[in-house]
Amino acid sequence: MLSLITIFGLLGNITTGLVYLAPVKTFWHIVQRGSTEEFESLPYVVKLLNGYMWVYYGVVKPNSILVATVNGFGAVLELVYVIIFLIFAPPRARAITAVLFGVLDVVFPIAAVLITQMSCNREMQITIAGFLSLLFSVLTYGSPLSIMKTVVRTKSVDYMPFLLSFILFINGLTWTVYAVLTRDWFIGIPNGSGFVLGTAQLVLYAMYWKPEKSKRTSSDDGCQTENLIGHSAPLLDKNESRAEA
């Protein structure tokens, strides 16, 4: 019989997988138009680093394979997103993205793994990997906060698709329960924050949703991004809200 920890870990893998898949529509839009237009690469570079750190955390911490698997999947997707950006970005944006990718997604994670493996015991490796994962997860929360500010300012939910707000809510709730069951606050803190943000977005949706806008809103589902376990995750990205333009 499956334990509650395994059940919530598997559910979290599903919801986090959906979060990682959220930008697919945006990048399909980029490929079709052959240009990144005004989209920014930094959110995806940071999310790729975040995925790396959660994979490392899931590997070094005993009985955390479910954390490693879903973030391994997410890291592959984020790498694809960054590569697409490098292919279709204008020269200056491509150069900036290449530097960010090299420093944050190549040099930093390799250095972090090598240093902790060579100079730290297992408990310290877990602590450092968990802290870095938590830190980068929290950094991804700027986008959902920005989206919420836009909703309040415009009194419109056009740029905050209900489906993704709901997934953010469920993803945060699932991993928060998992964190409580496993007493893992490196997972609990960022995902608890994601749960609160998801709840706040649903409240805003209830406040500002207008029936005449429902058709536009439903067509935008999939354009906003992500959170992640530890993602969470972080994360709803303002980049995706532009894909409809």
Query: Which domain range does residue 222 map to?
Result: 4-241
pTM across the whole model: 0.82
Encode burial over 156-168: b for 16+ CB neighbours within 10 A, e otherwise: bbbbbbbebbebb
238 vs 21, 49, 147, 194, CA distance in Å?
15, 19, 6, 16
- What would you measure as the largest C-alpha separation in the chain, in angstroms? 60
Which of 149, 153, 143 lies closest to 223 in space, CA to CA?
Answer: 143
Helix, strand, coil % over all residues of the chain, rounded to 5: 80, 0, 20
DSSP code of residue 212: G
Q: Looking at the 3D structure of the chain, how many domains does it have?
A: 1
Residue 30: CA count within 13 A, CB half-sphere:
26
Question: Is 47:234 a contact under the CB 8 Å cutoff?
Answer: yes
Q: Are 168 and 144 spatial neighbours (Cβ–Cβ below 8 Å)?
A: yes
Residue 220, class by beta-carbon neighbours within 10 Å (0-12 exposed, 13-18 middle, 19+ buried)?
buried
CB 67 within 8 A of CB 57: yes
Query: Residue 1 has what pLDDT?
Result: 54
Q: How far apart are CA 101 and CA 80, in angstroms?
A: 12
Look at residue 235 in the predicted model and tell me its pLDDT.
Answer: 38
Q: What is the pLDDT of residue 40?
A: 86
Count CA within 13 A, CB hemisphere, residue 188.
9
Amino acid at 81: Y
pLDDT of residue 219: 35
- Separation CA 172–CA 23 (nearest Å): 18
Tokens of 79: 């790498």
Compute CA distances 66 → 61, 142, 182, whole Å: 11, 26, 12
Tens of pLDDT, residues 176-228: 999 999 999 999 999 999 899 889 999 999 998 887 644 444 333 343 444 33
Predicted pLDDT of residue 239? 53
User: What pLDDT, on the 0 to 100 scale, is given for residue 244?
Assistant: 39
Supply the pLDDT for residue 212. 60
Residue ranges of the chain with pLDDT lower than 70? 1, 142, 212-245
- Calpha distance 194→77 (Å, rounded): 21
| pLDDT score at 37 | 82
Count the Cβ atoms, other than its own, within 10 Å of residue 182. 18
Task: Please give the Cα distance from 52 to 135 (Å, whole number).
Answer: 13
